């Protein structure tokens, strides 16, 4: 594998004796934008949550930068996750929402302020720092949620359907914004969606999942022009 990338080897997951992820092998090159796409229930979130350390791996190994992280706590993995439900603290200002995780990790106040400023400049939310989440639009809330990941300066960003609560127009502009973030930050990003258009436009590498298995992994072009089977052809080829 690429020395600084991520590698999943034989990753399996069972819930109560029922296996839902059936042995995933996958290389994720450092700095890549990798999209997990597939129908609802195929295991996208479970896979992402295992990478994040929010869900235990039943069998197999996850290595980040050559280090086996399978048994490490989420905070020890150098990853940050952005959720579909923004999970902002309603009683805190945007500034405090952004800095909260760092404060819990005992980062110094000056360092927190510097990182909050840098992240809010990148996301163009500098003018919103004194507001509360209730005073923000859906798109602004999603920016704050992404900002909370950026301030942690992770090696890898994980996104679980971050745009699915937004209306169609906002989804397109946030998608462009996330592509820009990837260009500017250069981090590895793993992005989960059931939206073929999002997958095709954002990914360097698309991983098409069905029933807990990889049907095909490749560049958007490979998957589109040379689908491995009729499922991939139907899923990626079908207009929304």
Closer to Mg ion by Cβ: residue 45 or 140? 45
| Cα-to-chain-centroid distance, residue 121 | 21
Q: Give the C-alpha separation, 1 to 53, whole Å.
A: 21
Binding site for ligand ADP (CB under 6 A): 15, 20, 38, 40-46
Contact present, 202 and 169 (Cβ < 8 Å): no
Site residue total, Mg ion (CB under 5 A):
1
Least separation in angstroms between CB 85 and ligand ADP: 14
Q: Give the C-alpha separation, 209 to 239, whole Å.
A: 18
Kindly give, in sequence order, each residue whose CB lies less than 8 Å from that of residue 106, ignoring residues fewer than 6 positions away: none
Closer to ligand ADP by Cβ: residue 16 or 134? 16
Least separation in angstroms between CB 45 and Mg ion: 3
Least separation in angstroms between CB 126 and ligand ADP: 34
Q: Which stretch binds Mg ion (CB under 5 A): 31-39, 42-50, 63-71, 175-183?
A: 42-50
237 interface partner picked from Mg ion, ligand ADP, none, CB below 5 to 8 A per type: none
Binder of Mg ion out of 26, 45, 133, 205 (CB under 5 A) = 45
In terms of DSSP H, where are the helices of the chain?
A: 44-52, 94-104, 109-123, 138-150, 168-185, 196-202, 220-225, 230-237
Contact present, 176 and 219 (Cβ < 8 Å): no
Phi first, then psi, for residue 104 (nearest 5°) are: -60, -35
Q: What is the largest CA-CA distance in the chain?
A: 55
Least separation in angstroms between CB 43 and Mg ion: 8
User: What is the token pair recorded at 209?
Assistant: 């999942």
Bridge partners, 157 (sequence order): 80, 189
Phi first, then psi, for residue 162 (nearest 5°) are: -65, -20
Closer to ligand ADP by Cβ: residue 30 or 55? 55
Shortest Cβ contact with Mg ion: which residue?
Answer: 45
89 interface partner picked from Mg ion, ligand ADP, none, CB below 5 to 8 A per type: none
Least separation in angstroms between CB 235 and ligand ADP: 13
Closer to ligand ADP by Cβ: residue 211 or 222? 211
Q: Which stretch binds Mg ion (CB under 5 A): 24-32, 43-51, 122-130, 139-147?
A: 43-51
The binding site for Mg ion (CB under 5 A) comprises: 45
């Amino acid at each position: 594998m690429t020395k600084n990338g991520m590698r999943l080897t034989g990753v399996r997951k069972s819930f109560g004796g029922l296996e839902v992820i059936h042995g995933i092998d996958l290389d994720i090159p450092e700095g890549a934008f990798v999209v997990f796409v597939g129908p609802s229930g195929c295991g996208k979130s479970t896979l992402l949550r295992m990478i994040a350390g929010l869900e235990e791996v039943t069998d197999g190994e996850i290595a980040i930068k050559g280090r086996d992280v399978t048994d490490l706590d989420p905070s020890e993995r150098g990853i940050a996750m952005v959720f579909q439900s923004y999970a902002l603290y309603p009683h805190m200002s945007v500034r405090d929402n952004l800095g909260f995780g760092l404060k819990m990790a005992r980062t110094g106040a000056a360092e927190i302020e510097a990182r909050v400023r840098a992240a809010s400049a990148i996301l163009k939310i500098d003018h919103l720092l004194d507001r509360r989440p209730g005073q923000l639009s859906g798109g602004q809330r999603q920016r704050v949620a992404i900002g909370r990941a950026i301030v942690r300066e992770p090696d890898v960003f994980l996104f679980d359907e971050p745009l699915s609560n937004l209306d169609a127009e906002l989804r397109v502009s946030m998608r462009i914004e996330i592509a820009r973030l990837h260009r500017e930050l250069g981090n590895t990003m793993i992005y989960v969606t059931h939206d073929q258009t999002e997958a095709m436009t954002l990914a360097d590498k698309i991983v098409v999942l069905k029933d807990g298995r990889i049907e095909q992994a490749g560049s958007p072009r490979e998957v589109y022009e040379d689908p491995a089977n009729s499922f991939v052809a139907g899923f990626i080829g079908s207009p929304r």
